[in-house]
């Protein structure tokens, strides 16, 4: 798999340090609050597993699964909600965790669903990567690991056609692998 990577954008050690910083900040911000962490499947799972071990306040955990990419490299523009939390979020403080914020469509749609349909009192967002150059919807994450340039990234949960998620770093995929 490493031979498919053009360059490493964020090394494993840097990810680990930043995730610990995010966990500490989230813990301070949620002190004394009843928080539910909702992770977006599948890409957010690797980030989630490290992040929640860095959070020191009591929390509940649930999952959502939204998709707009399929096996492609660009969003279809349609966000399909496949799975949503199965616990009550009414009146709760929710932290929505995802791997990457690019167009903003998925984060905006799921955040709105958690507030409007599930009754969350508050929805904050945490993303490992923010790719602002691709933003189509006016949405900002409350907690951001790294801002990245407009390149196709994989690793640490991020994928191309469901591959490369298990790389311990964030890498730029060689363009000839996804050009078609």
Looking up tokens 């955990």 gives 61
Q: How far apart are CA 17 and CA 99, in angstroms?
A: 16
Q: Which of 50, 98, 99, 102 is catalytic?
A: 102
H/E run at residue 93:
strand 93-101
Beta bridge mates, 83 = 65
Give yes or no for a contact between 7 and 168, defined as CB atoms under 8 angstroms apart. no
Is 17 a residue of the active site? Answer: no
- For residue 144, CA distances in Å to 47, 150, 164 come to 12, 16, 22
What are 139's two structure tokens? 């949405």
What are 28's two structure tokens? 């301070």
* Residues known to be catalytic: 102
């Amino acid at each position: 798999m490493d031979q498919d990577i053009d360059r490493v954008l964020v090394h494993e050690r840097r990810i680990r340090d930043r995730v610990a910083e995010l966990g500490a900040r989230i813990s301070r911000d949620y002190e004394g609050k009843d928080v539910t962490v909702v992770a977006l499947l599948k890409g957010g799972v690797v980030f989630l597993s490290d992040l929640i071990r860095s959070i020191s306040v009591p929390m509940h955990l649930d999952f959502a699964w939204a998709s707009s990419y399929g096996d492609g490299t660009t969003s279809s523009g349609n966000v399909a909600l496949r799975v949503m939390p199965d616990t009550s979020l009414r009146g709760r403080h929710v932290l929505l965790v995802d791997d990457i914020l690019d167009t903003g469509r998925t984060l905006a749609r799921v955040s709105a669903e958690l507030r409007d349909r599930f009754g969350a009192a508050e929805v904050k967002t945490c993303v490992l990567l923010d790719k602002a150059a691709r933003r189509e919807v006016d949405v900002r994450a409350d907690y951001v690991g790294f801002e990245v340039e407009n390149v196709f990234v994989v690793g640490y949960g991020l994928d191309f056609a469901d591959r490369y998620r298990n790389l311990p770093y964030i890498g730029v995929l060689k363009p000839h692998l996804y050009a078609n």
